[in-house]
Amino acid sequence: MRRSVPSPLPVSTPSPASRLADLVREIPGATLTSGSPQTFVSGVRHDSRAIEPGDVFVAREGGRVNGLAFLNEAVQRGAAAIIARRGATSPGSTPLVEVDDVPLALAIASAAVYGHPTFGLDVIGITGTNGKTTTTLMTRAIVEASGGKCGTIGTLGAELGGWIKPSVHTSPEADELARIAREMRDQGATHLVMEVSSIALAAKRADAVRFRVAAFTNLTQDHLDYHGTMEGYAAAKMRLFAELGPGAAAINVRDPFGADLARAVPAGTRVISYSSAADVGAPDVYPTHLEMRAASGAPGIRLRAATPFGELSIASPLVGAHNVENLLCAASIGLCLDVDVETISAALSTPISVPGRLERCD
């Protein structure tokens, strides 16, 4: 029997960066061009309207808003320092940190000031065009069935137990993400399951998150207004696996991009592949018996699946072929987390309600 819930990864969590000098040391290539390195900092914000005394304002450019246009407002609200691209100027005597990559600096600065909160959590990142929200809730059920305390971040907002925080984006901005993770860690969470959108990956919002597991569901045409091409869309998804260094990956190899992804992950990454068809992609996890009932009798999915660690036996009240793939993805994530097949089967056989996702009306 494999152990159910592992303790968080054995790493020492860095102390929060409370001085500007500490922050500059953590950001690659950062240069303090004016002001005292001993300046006290207590928070990080990308939105000048939310600045409080002691916060660092990170002035992003591009998109609909140019952060450099709001430097005066940030300083008036009490910004302790400004992080901006090279060549920027700071109003008055406010300390200025110049960087080469502002989005990356926002992610790293946020994590540093808030104490690298994901270092104290087992973080699971789920990316793909479809299925992220449902798979997130399924994965939470597996973690909680194993005795863990699991927070979630995604389309439905951020949630841990009774604590709920609405979110504008599927994956929050880097500074908001760090604050949410810090709150969850402080409330005793052991795990965090988060939806990681392609836009968030391209914008480097999750670049300071320490992922234990990354999961891929599927890739279909979406967000081409942002990425431009399917190649750009796929490249953004690839970043979660190739650049952000998860220890393990659960990948849908029935999807053509997923099959390529499974072959491209860095050496040393533990891969558990899955497919809803045993003869496609040579998967590690695949159905050996499947019944789907939509109306007659008890609606739901009856699924037995082979895995490298024994057979899964799932009787889920969910319906639809897409939920077969979601169940297989969540089960594969559970295996990446070293959860035993009995616990996974029991967790995925319990009712899971996903708001706005094929909800049943009795």
Q: What is the pLDDT of residue 11?
A: 47
Cα(232)–Cα(13) distance, integer angstroms: 34
Cα(133)–Cα(146) distance, integer angstroms: 20
Which residue has tokens 């309207």?
49
Digitized pLDDT (tens) for each residue of the chain, 362 residues in all: 333 444 333 345 667 879 999 999 999 999 999 999 999 999 999 999 999 999 999 999 877 789 999 999 999 999 999 999 999 999 989 999 999 999 999 999 999 999 999 998 999 999 998 999 999 999 999 999 999 999 999 999 999 998 888 877 888 999 999 999 999 999 999 999 999 998 899 899 999 999 999 999 998 866 555 556 878 888 888 899 988 778 999 999 999 999 999 999 998 999 999 999 999 889 999 999 999 987 666 789 999 999 999 999 999 999 999 999 999 999 999 999 999 999 999 999 999 877 765 555 55
Tell me how crowded residue 354 is: count the other CB atoms within 10 A of its CB.
Answer: 18
Q: What is the pLDDT of residue 169?
A: 80
Q: What is the pLDDT of residue 48?
A: 96
Question: Both tokens of residue 214?
Answer: 């990354």
pTM, full prediction: 0.91
Q: What is the pLDDT of residue 306?
A: 98
The DSSP H or E segment spanning 144 is: helix 132-145
Q: What is the DSSP annotation of 151-170?
A: EEEETTEEEETTEEE--SSS
* Strand locations in the chain (E): 31-34, 43-45, 55-58, 81-85, 96-99, 122-127, 150-154, 157-160, 163-165, 191-195, 211-216, 248-252, 270-274, 286-293, 300-306, 312-316
Q: What is the pLDDT of residue 3?
A: 36
Q: What is the pLDDT of residue 289?
A: 96
Closest CA to 103 of 189, 184, 175: 175
Q: What is the pLDDT of residue 226?
A: 59
Q: What is the pLDDT of residue 223?
A: 56
Q: What is the pLDDT of residue 4?
A: 40
Q: What is the pLDDT of residue 62?
A: 76
CB-based burial, 250-269: b 16+ in 10 Å, e otherwise: bbbbbbebbbebbeebeeee
Domains, the chain: 20-113 (3.40.1390.10), 117-348 (3.40.1190.10)
The pairing of beta strand 43-45 with beta strand 55-58: parallel
